[in-house]
């Protein structure tokens, strides 16, 4: 132990062939640093340190919308286990943590999302060599949790969409139903994306918001970038515009802010009496594909799903709804 030219106490060790140097203003502080480092070597870092490393890498690879959904789960994990050494956290503790969250009445998807964030943090610890295996691997999402599914739009509701184009936001609703676009995909659409000659629509980008401000991003995956047919009913009413102009804008011909997009849809619902989300209209498009006998693999491509399982989940849901509808008709007629 010695003092350097700046009057700091210093001490260095050779660990695994590498020199590790410690320095502090006081001898007591220096010894504390050395002791904490020795504990870290034995027990690994605290979870908060690993979680922060994971979050910094993860946050630049996803959209702001996805990150907002992850943030609360990240905070829950850090709040519960942040000051614990990564090697000391057991599978039983994580199981208790997940079950306690589930008991608050959250749906299966939300609980599964919390588990996923927890798993990714511990996977990071495995990758860095702090632990041999992830204790989250043996933890299961509790059974019996509610699974919420958006109701498919009815024939009557689709009829209102088809006849309310002149309402505020009416063309947006019509456009989503006849293309199956996601909300962000529709709001990022330019006139140049509409190929009138070849009767196709090119979906290559999406709109998202950071705070109120709108931004455009390209698609992250090949399946996200896709071409869908330009149907005759939509083609007949598409207005004309310059290729670089956005179709859905505010009064200043600018991209919609978060508040403007929300208000547009709320006004549409008030004027039409509908209580649909834009995503439900996308499912209405999926229903039309189902009724037309389109194969699930083709449905996957048109809807831009990365996994066929996502398409099959919707396909199965539509099938069950259709069977229930047939049963109701038969009960009335027979």
Q: Name all domains of the chain by residue range, CATH numbers in brackets.
A: 2-43 (no CATH), 47-138 (1.10.150.130), 155-330 (1.10.443.10)
Give me the DSSP letters along 249-285.
--TTS-PPPHHHHHHHHHHHHHHH-----HHHHHHHH
Query: Is 208 in contact with 184 (CB distance < 8 Å)?
Result: yes
Distance CA 246, CA 107 (A): 37
The predicted structure's pLDDT at residue 140: 95
Cα angle, residue 171 at apex, residues 322 and 200 outer, rounded to 5°: 75
Strand bridging mode 9-15 / 2-3: antiparallel
Distance CA 76, CA 70 (A): 10
State the number of CA atoms in the 13 A half-sphere of 41 facing the CB.
Answer: 9
Helix (H, G, I), strand (E, B) or coil at 330: helix
Does the pTM surpass 0.85? The reply is no
Taking Cα atoms as reference points, which of 57, 64, 63, 59 lies closest to residue 219?
A: 63
Largest CA distance in the chain: 98
Distance CA 265, CA 267 (A): 5
Taking Cα atoms as reference points, which of 277, 320, 283 lies closest to residue 302?
A: 283
Where b means 16+ CB within 10 Å and e means fewer, 165-193 reads eebbbbbbbbbbbbbbbbbbbbbbbbbeb
Q: At what angle do helices 278-291 and 170-179 cross, to 10 degrees?
A: 40
The predicted structure's pLDDT at residue 39: 67
For 188, 241, 316, the CA distances from 245, given in Å and listed in that order, are 10, 6, 38
Query: Is 82 in contact with 121 (CB distance < 8 Å)?
Result: no
Strand bridging mode 194-195 / 18-24: unpaired
Query: Is 247 in contact with 234 (CB distance < 8 Å)?
Result: no
The predicted structure's pLDDT at residue 103: 95
The predicted structure's pLDDT at residue 295: 93
* Token pair of 197 as six digits: 């000659």
The predicted structure's pLDDT at residue 334: 63
The predicted structure's pLDDT at residue 135: 95
pLDDT tens for each residue of the chain, 334 residues long: 778 888 888 888 776 667 788 888 888 888 888 777 766 766 778 999 999 999 999 988 777 778 888 999 999 999 999 999 999 999 999 999 999 999 999 999 999 999 999 999 999 999 988 888 999 999 999 999 987 666 789 889 999 999 999 999 999 999 999 999 999 999 999 999 999 999 999 999 999 887 789 999 887 666 668 999 999 999 999 999 999 999 999 999 999 999 999 999 999 999 999 999 999 999 999 999 998 999 999 999 999 988 888 889 888 888 887 777 666 666 676 6
Residue located via tokens 């649909």: 276
Strand bridging mode 194-195 / 200-203: antiparallel
The predicted structure's pLDDT at residue 125: 93
Count of all residues that appear for the chain in the document: 334
């Amino acid at each position: 132990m010695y003092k350097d030219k700046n009057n700091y106490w210093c001490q260095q060790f050779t660990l695994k062939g590498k020199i590790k140097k410690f320095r502090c203003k006081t001898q007591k502080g220096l010894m504390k640093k050395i002791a904490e480092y020795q504990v870290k070597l034995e027990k690994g870092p605290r979870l908060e340190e690993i979680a922060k490393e994971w979050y910094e890498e993860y946050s630049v690879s996803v959209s702001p919308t996805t990150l907002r959904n992850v943030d609360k789960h990240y905070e829950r994990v850090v709040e519960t286990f942040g000051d614990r050494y990564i090697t000391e956290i057991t599978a039983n503790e994580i199981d208790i943590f997940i079950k306690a969250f589930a008991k608050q009445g959250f749906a299966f998807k939300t609980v599964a999302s919390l588990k996923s964030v927890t798993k990714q943090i511990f996977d990071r610890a495995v990758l860095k060599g702090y632990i041999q295996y992830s204790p989250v691997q043996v933890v299961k999402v509790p059974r019996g949790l509610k699974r919420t599914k958006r109701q498919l739009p009815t024939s009557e509701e689709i009829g209102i969409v088809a006849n309310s184009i002149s309402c505020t936001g009416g063309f947006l609703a019509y456009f989503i139903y006849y293309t199956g676009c996601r909300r962000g995909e529709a709001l990022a659409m330019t006139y140049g994306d509409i190929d009138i000659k070849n009767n196709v629509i090119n979906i290559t980008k999406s709109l998202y918001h950071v705070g109120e401000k709108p931004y455009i991003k390209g698609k992250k995956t090949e399946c996200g970038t896709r071409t869908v047919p330009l149907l005759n009913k939509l083609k007949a009413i598409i207005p004309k515009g310059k290729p670089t102009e956005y179709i859905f804008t505010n009064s200043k011909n600018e991209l919609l802010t978060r508040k403007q997009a929300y208000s547009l849809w709320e006004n549409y619902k008030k004027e039409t009496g509908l209580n649909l989300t834009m995503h439900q209209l996308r499912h209405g498009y999926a229903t039309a594909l189902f009724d037309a006998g389109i194969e699930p693999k083709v449905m996957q491509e048109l809807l831009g799903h990365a996994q066929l399982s996502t398409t099959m989940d919707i396909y199965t849901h539509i099938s069950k709804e259709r069977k229930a509808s047939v049963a109701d008709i038969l009960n009335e007629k027979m």
